Amino acid sequence: VNADLELKEEILKLKKELNAVILAHYYQESEIQDIADFVGDSLELAKQAKATNADVIVFAGVHFMAETAKILNPNKLVLIPDLEASCSLAEGCPPNEFKKFREAHPYHIAITYINCSAEVKALSDIICTSSNAEKIINQIPADKPILFSPDKNLGKYLIKKTGRNMLLWEGSCIVHETFSERKILELKVRYPEAKLIAHPECEEPVLMHADFIGSTSKLLKFIQEDDSKIYIVATETGIIHQMKKARPEKNFIPAPPQDESCSCNECPYMKLNTMEKVYLCMKNRFPEIRMDEELRLRALKPIERMLEMS
């Protein structure tokens, strides 16, 4: 406990020294969320990164999120606790393959989920997150064909919601694909009053049973406004920390993965970050996100279009 407290104090001291802001995603471990200046979903974090007047951004999240912060802040030092914190969606969409996909469909507009590399962003027309995707797609003229990448589950969900027939990239999130429909239904039988809330990165059979579907912050907002007492939460377990803080009297059951002996409902990339690594990256001012200026300018355009449209 003392060591934890010391670490926390050291981080706060370094934060002052560096004039840093700590941004954390909801999937970070609880201690990191508690020390952050701002915790949010992908869109809110990008907006915070754009708005900050700190000199240093410590990004406790995954690589594509810290990269987005750098694209928006070329003159700030953007630190990430672990450079290896990737994302299965970004990994599954290599820029050279994505380029071919675009070239094969030259008349399509490319709307790309923020969970991708800066190179893939640079090859896209508009970026979106799960909070604003529907709104953005609805602004595209009806006769314009759309390529949606890289999450096919989110893509399928959006096709249903918007009625637009989009061509999808075959990618998925290893965490949101792990939930067992059968086990979720068993829980629904055992707790008939429980509501299933799910992130749209989940597969269709899980989404089919959901009482509410939304981005992490929309799920968090939902449980605050809804009057149920118990929820089955089909997204990464980190968000439950904020749910419990917001509604301590309610019950939140993590949706079970197929294989319950693994902790597959925790994102292995997000969980690479630890308090120790947050401290070390601030102390060493390393690892930092670096980016070629030409790439940055190309990746900035579709992010700015997103911010204008959302």
CB 254 within 8 A of CB 33: no
Interface region with ligand 13P, contact rule CB under 6 A, candidates 103-111, 129-137, 158-166, 244-252: 129-137
Minimum distance of ligand SF4 from residue 270's CB (angstroms): 5
If phi over 0 gives left and psi between -120 and 50 gives alpha, with beta otherwise, what is residue 144? beta
Which residue of 52, 88, 115, 132 would you call a contact of ligand 13P, by CB under 6 A? 115
Give min distance, CB of 26 to ligand 13P, in A: 6
Extract the tokens encoding 199.
Answer: 């992130």
Long-range contacts of 221-227 (CB under 8 A, 24+ apart): 222/197, 223/197, 223/247, 223/250, 223/252, 226/195
Residues 116 and 149: beta-carbon distance below 8 Å:
yes
Out of 88, 129, 172, 178, point to the residue binding ligand 13P (CB under 6 A): 129
Residue 87 is labelled as binding a ligand: yes
CB atoms within 10 A of CB 122: 19
CB nearer to ligand SF4: give 52 or 265: 265
42 touches ligand 13P (CB under 6 A)? yes
Q: 101: part of which helix (H) or strand (E)? A: helix 95-104
User: Which pair of structure tokens corresponds to residue 19?
Assistant: 């004039």
Distance CA 222, CA 236 (A): 16
Contact partners, residue 191, CB within 8 Å, separation at least 6? 230, 232, 253
* Residue 192 CB partners (closer than 8 Å, separation 6+): none
Q: Is 262 assigned a ligand-binding role in the annotation?
A: no
From candidates 112, 215, 237, 310, binder to ligand 13P by CB under 6 A:
215
- Partner from ligand SF4, ligand 13P, none binding residue 174, C-beta < 5-8 Å depending on class: ligand SF4
Stretch near ligand 13P under the rule CB under 6 A, chosen from 52-60, 128-136, 183-191, 254-262:
128-136
Between 87 and 282, whose beta carbon lies closer to ligand 13P? 87
Q: With H, G, I as helix, E, B as strand and everything else as coil, classify residue 296.
A: helix
Which amino acid makes up residue 69? A
At which residue do the structure tokens 């050291």 appear? 10
Find out whether 249 is annotated in a ligand binding site: no
242 interacts with, out of ligand SF4, ligand 13P, none, CB within 5 to 8 A per kind: none
Residue 58 beta carbon to ligand 13P: minimum distance, rounded to whole angstroms: 18
Is 153 an interacting residue with respect to ligand 13P (CB under 6 A)?
Answer: no
Nearest residue (CB) to ligand 13P, 21 versus 173:
173
Nearer residue to ligand 13P within complex by CB, 42 or 273: 42
- The verdict on whether residue 289 carries a ligand-binding annotation is no
Residue stretches of the annotated binding site for [4Fe-4S] cluster? 87, 173, 267
Query: Which residues are annotated binding-site positions for iminosuccinate?
Result: 25, 42, 113-115, 130, 199-201, 216
